[in-house]
């Protein structure tokens, strides 16, 4: 809470505690009751607006959700959870450019330093979520840009680097995709998903022998990887046929 609970009455403390407890337990009706009661007397609590925004989103009332989350961020521009939620709500409304602006402002507001690992992680996931939305909508260059911004914050997040590689390949940039998959494998050689996609990308470039070798390496370490086995069968079958 932005006001840190100063000068709260007993009833206000109770409303906040019960509202949060009901929110976390999924009792939306009771959560809304307590949180709206508290908002009447304490409109400056960012987390109250955040929770009310999430409740509105759950009901599909995206307009109310947007307004509540915007208010939470007006009160506390560094409220990363509220920013991430607002980006998600805007994406659901097809407001991709606005969502990108909100996400970009998050990086400027937070200005994370070396000690802000948690904040950097949250901001990286926010950018990655925006990248996912762009990729789903077919805006691949924007997706690539968002993933790269995420990795600038947390270069060790291999799941985001994997998605960057996939977006690059889908955008017709397989050579760049190869670099991302190999970057993952340099530090995490057991990252089988990256190795499988490395093989797929090699195959797309006409380098079938390299692709087969990568999938065989995966199966040697993890025989249960059906995706690697499927790709292997497909390429070997095409060759024998």
Q: How far is CA 240 from CA 200, 212, 234, in A?
A: 19, 14, 10
Cβ proximity of 182 and 148 under 8 Å: no
Q: Please determine, for residue 111, whether its predicted confidence score (pLDDT) is greater than 70.
A: no
The residue among 41, 34, 40, 42 whose CA lies nearest residue 51 is 34
Which pLDDT belongs to residue 15? 92
pLDDT digits (tens, 9 = 90+) for 39-97: 999 899 999 999 999 999 999 999 999 999 999 999 988 887 888 889 889 988 989 88
Q: What are phi and psi of 94, to 5 degrees?
A: 80, 15
Q: Please determine, for residue 140, whether its predicted confidence score (pLDDT) is greater than 50.
A: yes
For the record, the structure tokens of 139 come out as 């805006």
pLDDT digits (tens, 9 = 90+) for 167-190: 999 999 999 999 999 999 999 999
CATH (residue range 156-241) = 1.25.40.10
Which pLDDT belongs to residue 240? 65
Residue 127: pLDDT band with limits 50, 70, 90: confident
Average pLDDT value for residue range 11-36: 92
Average pLDDT value for residue range 140-148: 91
CA 49, 54, 60, 62 dihedral sign is: positive
For the record, the structure tokens of 214 come out as 């990568």
Region class of 188: left (phi > 0), else alpha (psi between -120 and 50), else beta: beta
d(Cα 183, Cα 80) in Å, to the nearest integer?
Answer: 28
For the chain, what are the domain ranges?
156-241
Cβ proximity of 88 and 50 under 8 Å: no
């Amino acid at each position: 809470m932005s006001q840190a609970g100063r000068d709260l009455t007993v009833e206000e403390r109770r409303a906040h505690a019960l509202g949060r407890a009901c929110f976390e337990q999924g009792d939306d009706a009771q959560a809304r009751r307590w949180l709206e009661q508290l908002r009447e007397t304490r409109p400056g609590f960012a987390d109250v607006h955040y929770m009310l925004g999430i409740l509105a989103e759950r009901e599909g009332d995206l307009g109310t959700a947007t307004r509540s989350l915007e208010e939470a961020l007006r009160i506390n521009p560094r409220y990363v959870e509220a920013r991430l939620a607002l980006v998600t709500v805007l994406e659901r409304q097809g407001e991709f450019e606005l969502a990108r602006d909100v996400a970009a402002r998050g990086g400027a507001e937070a200005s994370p330093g070396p000690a802000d690992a948690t904040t950097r992680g949250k901001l990286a996931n926010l950018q990655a979520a925006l990248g996912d939305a762009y990729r789903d909508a077919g805006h691949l260059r924007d997706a690539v840009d968002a993933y790269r911004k995420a990795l600038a914050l947390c270069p060790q997040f291999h799941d985001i680097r994997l998605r960057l590689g996939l977006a690059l390949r889908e955008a017709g940039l397989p050579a760049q995709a190869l670099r991302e998959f190999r970057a993952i494998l340099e530090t995490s050689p057991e990252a089988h998903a990256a190795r499988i996609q490395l093989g797929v990308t090699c195959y797309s470039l006409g380098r079938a022998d390299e692709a087969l070798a990568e999938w065989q390496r995966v199966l040697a370490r993890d025989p249960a990887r059906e995706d690697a086995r499927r790709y292997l069968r497909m390429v070997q079958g095409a060759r024998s046929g």
